[in-house]
Amino acid sequence: MQPSFLMPAPLCNGAPHLRVARPSRDLHAATRLYTEGLGFDVLASFLDHAGFDGVMLGRAGWPYHLELTQRRDDPIAPRPTAEDLLVLYLPDRAHWEAAVRRLRDAGARSVASVNPYWDARGATFEDPDGYRIVLANDAWP
């Protein structure tokens, strides 16, 4: 066992809340995809906060949320790579199939994953800004 002075200190006493923040070209289109396609709720939004508009998406009580922002005067163009993934594990097959249908119905584009691991375990989609969403029909260990 390592001496305690070499062990990393915890971030906090409880589990941290995770916010994934991304720029968007079109807040309305991206918000629609995540709310209609994934069933996220709009938890909060803001207009012209230091030149930014934004929306927080997720569900109350979840330990994470997605923030999408758009700069008013000098827009930042999203530059996602094929490996910028938001992975959601849905182990129940019926729930997974329903989520895939909802994403397609909301206009998400189905794409092949660069990493074959994800194609073997689920389906990959692109949001309006080109960020990828993986719906894995698998359980997180």
Residue 128, domain member (yes or no): yes
pLDDT number for residue 15: 81
Percent of the chain scored above 90 by pLDDT?
A: 84
Backbone phi, then psi, for 128, in 5-degree steps? -60, -20
Residue pair 51/73 in contact by the 8 Å Cβ criterion: yes
Judge whether residue 14 has pLDDT over 90.
Answer: no
Residue 51 is part of which domain span? 18-136
pLDDT number for residue 6: 55
pLDDT number for residue 120: 96
The pLDDT confidence band at residue 12, using thresholds 50, 70 and 90, is low
Structure-derived torsion over alpha carbons of residues 71, 82, 38, 52, reported in degrees to the nearest 10: -10
The count of domains in the chain is: 1
Question: pTM (2 decimals)?
Answer: 0.86
Residue 7, domain member (yes or no): no
**CATH code of residue 131:** 3.10.180.10
pLDDT tens figures, 32-62: 999 999 999 999 999 999 999 999 999 999 9
The Cα–Cα gap between 130 and 64 comes to: 21
Residue 1, domain member (yes or no): no
Judge whether residue 31 has pLDDT over 90.
Answer: yes
Q: What is the per-residue DSSP string for the chain?
A: ---GGGSPPPSSSSPPPEEEEEE-S-HHHHHHIIIIIH--EEEEEEEEETTEEEEEEE-TT-SEEEEEEEESSSPPPP---TT-EEEEE--SHHHHHHHHHHHHHTTPEEE--SSHHHHHHEEEEE-TTS-EEEEESS---
Residue 116, domain member (yes or no): yes
Contacts of 105 (CB under 8 A, 6+ apart): 36, 37
Judge whether residue 63 has pLDDT over 70.
Answer: yes
